[in-house]
Amino acid sequence: MWTRPRNRELLVAAGLFAIGVLIYGLELDLVFGDEQPTTTTARLAVLAVACLGTALRRAAPVVALVIATAAALVDLTRGLSLPVIMAFVDVLFVVSLDGPRRLHRVLIGVVAVATLGLTLTVAVLGDWRESFYAGLQVFSLVCVPVWWATNIRQHRENAEQVARIAELDRRAAVASERTRMARDLHDVIAGHLSAIAIQSEAVLSMQADSETVRTVLKSVRENSVRSLAEMRTMIDVLRADDPVDEPAIARLADADLLVDSARAGGLAVECALDDVDGLPAAVDLAAYRILQEALTNALKHGSSASVRVERQVRRLVVVVRNTARDTAAEGSGTGLVSMAERAHAVGGTFSAGRDGRDWLVRAELPL
């Protein structure tokens, strides 16, 4: 029950009042000022008002600050006592820490002006030494709680801002990982499984020729096994405690398999492939995926294609040109987006579009 905020504030106020009663009973209450003839009942009444401000310090910070300040001013006329100071400083600190932002700014200005004004007033009306001590006392009782609460409040706001930035970074990382997973899944499905579908359709539509059928079915089997292997590798990467950036099963050195698969599906392919050993892993994989997607599109929309992979000093150039039917749809564009993302991810460039009656795909990847 006492863990509720309202009950907790009442408990703090009751504790301060009990400590005040003990201090008054031991006659240790006077902090500064001349002791005035005041009954204990009057002192306890002022303390009770100050503790009322403590009970309201979070529920109604402005009201609590007014009540505690009024109690402190009344007590000051009889010599400021320690229990009232404790209640006033507690209210001032909590209101500065958890109160509204506008109230906090106003409170800083009021405290600064009041401290400076009191110090100058005492200096003009009395001795400069008295003004120094008066300013020091006001600073310790009023400025220090506000200053301390302001520092804590600033650190808390900074921590909240850092937490918000971290959450935004986490969401960006999750979105980036989802995009990468979607790209990988598209490459596997659109590459191998599309080839399987096209080759199966070719087998069903051709005349019975055992050698041709065996060739096509062999390519279907290779695509199926390779697709399953890549899917299994991607799943292992997602399950790993310290995953790598990309599955490492696809390499440009296996480009002949892509060409053979396209030929088995009925696409006439001319291939010119430079030595691609020792390529950076990211560039190697990006080039393989781009070539895979380009040949898949050529198999869907054309009858012949030419592939050129040229390794230059500072870049790797992948060019795929295929005949494009005039009535062929260019699809949803997901494959083109995936190829462009692959190229841009390694700092390269990508372009795709019609070149006369052909469709041209070109990617330049830095080495």
How many C-alpha atoms does 30 have within 13 Å on its Cβ side? 12
Please return the burial class of 365, using the count of CB atoms within 10 Å of its CB with bins 0-12, 13-18 and 19+: buried
Beta bridge partners of 352: 361
Contacts 24+ apart (CB under 8 A), 211-216: 215/264, 216/264, 216/265
Sequence-distant (6+) residues with CB within 8 A of 9 are: 54, 55, 56, 57, 58, 59
Give the distance from CA 176 to its chain's centroid. Answer: 12
pLDDT at 219: 67
pLDDT at 249: 61
Per-residue pLDDT in tens (0 to 9) along the chain, 367 residues: 445 666 787 887 888 888 878 877 776 666 555 555 456 777 788 888 888 888 888 888 888 888 888 888 887 777 777 788 888 888 888 888 887 888 878 877 777 777 776 666 666 666 666 666 666 666 667 777 888 888 888 888 888 888 888 887 887 777 776 676 666 666 666 566 666 666 666 665 666 566 666 666 666 666 666 666 667 666 666 665 555 555 456 678 878 888 887 787 778 888 888 887 888 888 888 888 888 888 888 887 777 888 888 888 888 999 998 887 654 445 556 778 888 888 888 888 998 888 888 888 999 998 8
Give the distance from CA 334 to its chain's centroid. Answer: 27
pLDDT at 52: 85
Q: Which two tokens stand for residue 228?
A: 């399953």
pLDDT at 336: 83
CA 7, CA 319: separation in Å to the nearest integer? 75
How many Cβ atoms are within 10 Å of 169's Cβ, its own excluded?
A: 10
CA 144, CA 150: separation in Å to the nearest integer? 10
Q: Which two tokens stand for residue 141?
A: 């009782």
Q: Which two tokens stand for residue 163?
A: 């937490």
CA 267, CA 61: separation in Å to the nearest integer? 79
CA 364, CA 311: separation in Å to the nearest integer? 10
Angle at 247 between CA 245 and CA 252, to 5 degrees: 110
How many C-alpha atoms does 186 have within 13 Å on its Cβ side? 20
Dihedral of alpha carbons 246, 252, 254, 255, sign: positive
pLDDT at 1: 46
How many Cβ atoms are within 10 Å of 251's Cβ, its own excluded?
A: 15
Under DSSP, is residue 276 helix (H, G, I), strand (E, B) or coil?
Answer: coil
Taking the alpha carbons at both ends of the chain, their separation in whole angstroms is 68
pTM: 0.46
pLDDT at 327: 46
CA 90, CA 49: separation in Å to the nearest integer? 14
CA 172, CA 302: separation in Å to the nearest integer? 39
pLDDT at 274: 82
Which of 88, 107, 101 minimizes the C-alpha distance to 47? Answer: 88
pLDDT at 185: 66
CA 291, CA 268: separation in Å to the nearest integer? 15
The residue ranges of DSSP E strands in 82-239, in sequence order, are none
